[in-house]
Amino acid sequence: MTTIKQISITNLLLNIENPRFELVGNQREALLAMVNDQADKILNLAKDIVEIGMLNPSELVIVTPSENLTNHFIVLEGNRRVTTLKLLTTPEIISSDNNSFFKKIKPLSDKFQQNPILEISCVIFADSEKANKWIKLKHTGENEGIGIVRWDAQQVARFEERIDGTSPIALQAIDFLRKDVSVDAELKEKLKDVPSSSLDRLLKDKSVQSLIGLSIKDYRLQTNLKRNEVVKGLTKIVTDLIDKKIRVKDIYTKEDREKYVKSFLPSEIPDKKQKERINWELVSASTIQSKPQSSSPQKTNPILKERETLIPKDCTLNITDARLIKIYKELRKLQVNNYENAVGVLFRVFIELSIDTYIDRFPINNITHDTKLKQKVIEVSLHMEQNGVAKKGELKGIRSAVNNQHDMLSMDTFNAYVHNRHLSPAAKSLITSWDNIQVFITKLWQAI
């Protein structure tokens, strides 16, 4: 018999027989053991709790009544979550034993106090024996389908596809090969082992695209080559990834990927003369969505003022930072007309953090994260120009923006948007500002 009940954090006792560590004698030792074993994960969980304001509501903490203390419960499953909440509530309990960890958790605790979690939902089992079956199933793998069957990277990508409404580039390539009749069955069976993030990194690289005859438009892989020619390049790449001939460290930078391109044998490179009459998308090998080839050259930075989002759907950035990926996705989803204030602030944050990432990758004398944005833009754009990352004309938009006191990226204008309640950013101005600097941002992230 089980019940679900809201229980105060102070009434939850850590399990001194937690399988994560050796048996300890009391609550303090249990907490210290948990921190010593899970320090980084506890900090990451603490950051998530502070940001979201709650624990994962789909996974309840499992407890059983304490035999010694009235209205207290021993945590059988969820000790890390409870430890994190206790530390966010009272970080001082760790200060004398692990001062370095205390210094990291204390700022998070200060934010947590603004919206503290005082109690959480728990599943109460009458005794631990009745709970052990379910705890074991959670932590001992699939158990032939009785336990939790974890998603692989490609299944995760398909879930994200349904959430974001776009199919990851790597997944499009894998599905194309899986459904193509010319690809042998042995390789198709191994496609599930392709590391999606590495394949995605390669397929978004211009030098790789140029070699194997692919391009990306509206988040779709497309080509004008015949199917069997497309298979050549993709087969080479996925085979190298599956066989671990190349790993993340081998293709991390633009220079690394250019070096990898040179390793292709002539037989692994598509014959660019073998073309279809029309462009087609690699949604699958059996379902080809055709589009006529355009006779006019494609503009690098189209002005799409009628769109609803700040960042257009056909703007693909090879972002590597986790937080910036989230901001990037939000700026591709939020409708500017409805959320101009949120978009305006996120826009500014995205630009500054992107530039900071570039500075981390390519240190510039006397320029740090604390340097004013205008100066950072001047120095970063100069570095990009001098190192062939971008041409002078491609940098004009960003340089003009920070020097124009009326532009969104001007410090004066941005401060006014934040602090002046009578001034709000206009949707069209935000979109225009993005269009003017899109080529700069694209080049910046290609270099990173």
Query: Does residue 42 sit in the same domain as residue 132?
Result: yes
Instruction: Please report which confidence band the pLDDT of residue 75 belongs to, taking 50, 70 and 90 as the band edges.
Output: very high
Q: Which two tokens stand for residue 149?
A: 């069957």
Query: Does residue 117 sit in the same domain as residue 176?
Result: no
Residue 301 lies inside a defined structural domain of this protein: no
Residue 297 lies inside a defined structural domain of this protein: no
Lowest mean pLDDT among 224-238, 326-340, 402-416: 402-416
* Single residue among 110, 145, 180 that ends a domain in this structure: 145
- Is the pLDDT score of 413 beyond 60? no
Residue 64 lies inside a defined structural domain of this protein: yes
Residue 443 lies inside a defined structural domain of this protein: yes
Query: Does residue 113 sit in the same domain as residue 76?
Result: yes
Residues 6+ apart with CB under 8 A from 3: 123, 124
Residue 315 lies inside a defined structural domain of this protein: no
- Is the pLDDT score of 205 beyond 90? yes
Residue 21 lies inside a defined structural domain of this protein: yes
Instruction: Please report which confidence band the pLDDT of residue 72 belongs to, taking 50, 70 and 90 as the band edges.
Output: very high
Query: Does residue 78 sit in the same domain as residue 203?
Result: no
pLDDT at 219: 76
Instruction: Please report which confidence band the pLDDT of residue 285 belongs to, taking 50, 70 and 90 as the band edges.
Output: very low
CA distance 176 to 179: 5
Query: Does residue 128 sit in the same domain as residue 197?
Result: no
Number of domains making up the chain: 3
pTM: 0.41
Strand order in the sheet with 73-77: 2-8, 119-125, 61-65, 73-77, 12-13
219 or 56, higher pLDDT: 56
- Is the pLDDT score of 91 beyond 90? yes
Lowest mean pLDDT among 23-37, 78-92, 413-427: 413-427
* Residue ranges making up the domain that contains 238: 153-291
CATH number, domain with residue 72: 3.90.1530.10
- Average per-residue pLDDT for the chain: 83
Residue 303 lies inside a defined structural domain of this protein: no
Lowest mean pLDDT among 63-67, 116-120, 336-340: 336-340
Whether 216 contacts 209, CB under 8 Å: yes
Query: Does residue 283 sit in the same domain as residue 393?
Result: no
Query: Does residue 329 sit in the same domain as residue 432?
Result: yes
